[in-house]
A and B are shown apart, each in its own frame.
Chain A
């Protein structure tokens, strides 16, 4: 008979403090020791995590109304432009927006983290002035406690899989995958691999809309499929996407976050970005789920993509497993090449452990997805066409 567990059973165990919770790294040896069936009976929840740079991040803020009130149209927070094409005092501050004065060294990511740290942030806003919102200009200071809502909204995070990057040109290039040395001088990669959320639930059986997660030190939720969700691409026999695969849109209360788990990033000659710490619990509902979470770095492959090709489609120089990449060097066409991560495994492990503690204490229950994601979504490209061609 196959082992099956309901969300209710698992949550009851969590509430009574009896749930067996382990990280996606720890579970590997448990399965080897006990076998798939016994391990499925034994383990209730597996925690996954990632701490990587993710440009597609920002925060919605509501400042409250000034007297007289203003319908803000041009808004600056510490000199960084925020988008105000919403209601009067609602804005969205994007992580990659750069400040007028400091450029990429201080961007939206820094504003978000300064707010999280409780720092004062300078607000400057102008408007046209209307009968109901007569004020044309405000200049003041805010903190996360002086404003109404402040929530992080990540349109895309947790890329299921991602390219490794290389540079075959004879010039050093500066990319969001870090500095790539000329003539295949190095390879960078960005994943927590066997600990990564969507590599442990490759077919989105337990991670969907409504999943309760750890987001930057507090409780958050999966709100939608992430942008560029490409679940319909080619997969290997384990269901792991050969390319990027799925992504997640995430939401959480910025006021309760901690900069221990979210941090501004600056990629030289590229721009501002942000490291976002995410932890996602996977309930072991059956043996199939246990099989998914027992995946190891040696089973997960990615493409080595040439970032010196300045086109949408970049050539692959070959496929490589994360176990090979984690060794610090690989041999490609007879040449030994240094490999380096961009996503912090040390932080990801800390998050997986932290989430494990929350669940073990009975403070964090597993939320069954309200709706699961499609597995046949295709990625579209932007074609430059004339009006009549559409």
Chain B
């Protein structure tokens, strides 16, 4: 299974090889979507992780015990349906096929495909898309 995790870690953990541990001990495939780490100050990592469900759960427990704040992200963006006019401008720049037009020409968002590039936020002419992370 795949999950999007937003990790925030305190200054004492910025020197730890967290990602390595996740791969090595929990056999997770990791795609780093965003990383911002200031050594000895603070850090945040936005990851797409893929692996067995029980290993994913154990890895989250490990992170929490370590003192990492873990937020499981169900979706990186949200579309305000009242604002959306279903023009399709966002689908032009979504490289991963998360935003597409359905058969009735409405925009559909497949959140499991989203890699949080955020380009759709800029592409939306009615500003209906906002970032959650």
* Nearest CB of chain A from residue B110's CB, rounded to whole Å: 14
CA distance A341 to B106 in the complex (A): 11
* Nearest CB of chain A from residue B118's CB, rounded to whole Å: 12
Contact of B85 among A51, A186, A266 (CB under 8 A): A51
- B92 x A188 contact (CB < 8 A): yes
Is A12 located at the chain interface by the 8 A CB criterion?
Answer: no
Contacts of B87 in A (CB 8 A): 51-53, 275, 341-344
Is A247 located at the chain interface by the 8 A CB criterion?
Answer: no
- B126 x A265 contact (CB < 8 A): yes
Contact of A346 among B92, B95, B106, B127 (CB under 8 A): B106
- B126 x A340 contact (CB < 8 A): no
CA distance A105 to B127 in the complex (A): 9
Is A284 located at the chain interface by the 8 A CB criterion?
Answer: no
Residue count of chain A within 8 Å CB distance of chain B:
29
- B125 x A267 contact (CB < 8 A): yes
Interface positions of B (Cβ within 8 A of A): 85-89, 91-93, 95, 100-101, 104-106, 119, 122-123, 125-127
Interface positions of A (Cβ within 8 A of B): 51-53, 105, 178-181, 186, 188, 263-268, 273, 275, 328, 338, 340-347, 349
Contacts of A347 in B (CB 8 A): 85-86
CA distance A345 to B104 in the complex (A): 9
CA distance A345 to B100 in the complex (A): 14
- A340 x B88 contact (CB < 8 A): yes
CA distance A118 to B101 in the complex (A): 32
CA distance A275 to B128 in the complex (A): 14
Which B residue's beta carbon lies closest to that of A192? B105
Which A residue's beta carbon lies closest to that of B97? A338
Contacts of B86 in A (CB 8 A): 344-347
Contacts of B101 in A (CB 8 A): 328, 340-341
- A345 x B105 contact (CB < 8 A): yes
Which A residue's beta carbon lies closest to that of B127? A266
